[in-house]
Amino acid sequence: MSQYRTPPLEPVQISFDIESGSLSPTGPTLVRRAADLQGCFKNERSLAELIANGNPEIYRVVSSVVPETSRELPQSITTIRPGSVAGELFMTKGHQHPDPQGEIYFGLAGEGGVIMFDGINTSWVEVQVGKIAYIPPGWAHRSINTGTKDYKFLAVYPGSAGHDYQWVVNHGMGLRAYLEQGELKLKDFNLT
């Protein structure tokens, strides 16, 4: 597998293929399956059933060759499968940037959105094809597939921003996204 390039980088053209969600030239690919999302979904029993029932892929992240280092501007394509765990829509783990810096998500295919949480305030921004969701510094973010097909988006972020997953474990995400009677329903994160 190709890996990140080492700075200094030469100017480069990067192609992306929306159908496959791939980048060329490409960096590493990260695949997260149901078992990697333990602690994320409210209904832990339903998640355990899904894990026992084939542990399917929930999403994958294909990174570009640009490294996650200071002053660089890496990109990645995330592909989230359609589906839910007891009605709670498939999602990414979600993280905070330890170094508070902004990020953009650009919709490539399917339908989705981003739950954002700054520890007090919550936000939901839809991401359709051709739309950008802006994630300001200090807002944890988790992507959701709200549709019936793969949801794909391009992320562009400062290389030194980092990924703090423990922040979400400690603080939650403010909201949870459900599909009820075919409609998106955002509910309080700590619903009983």
Per CB under 5 A, residues contacting Mn ion are 103
CB of 160 to Mn ion, least distance (A): 12
Residue span 162-191 as binding mask against ligand PA5, x where in contact by CB under 6 A, dash where not: -x----------------------------
Candidates 58, 66, 85, 93; binder of ligand PA5 (CB under 6 A) is 93
Phi, psi of 139 (to 5 degrees): -105, 115
Distance CA 180, CA 81 (A): 18
Candidates 21, 27, 94, 107; binder of ligand PA5 (CB under 6 A) is 94
CB of 76 to ligand PA5, least distance (A): 4
Dihedral class, residue 190 (left if φ above 0, else alpha if ψ from -120 to 50, else beta): alpha
Candidates 26, 64, 78, 79; binder of ligand PA5 (CB under 6 A) is 78
Contacted entry of ligand PA5, Mn ion, none for residue 78, CB cut-off 5 to 8 Å set by kind: ligand PA5
The length of the chain, given as a count of residues: 192
Stretch that binds ligand PA5, among 40-48, 92-100, 123-131, 172-180 (CB under 6 A): 92-100
Contacted entry of Mn ion, ligand PA5, none for residue 94, CB cut-off 5 to 8 Å set by kind: ligand PA5
Token look-up 């480069």 returns 12
- Residue 64 or 84: which CB sits closer to ligand PA5? 64
Residue 156 interacts with ligand PA5 (CB under 6 A): yes or no: no
Subset of residues 16 to 35 that bind ligand PA5, contact rule: CB under 6 A: none
Note the residues at the interface with ligand PA5 (CB under 6 A): 61, 76, 78, 92-95, 103, 143, 155, 157, 163
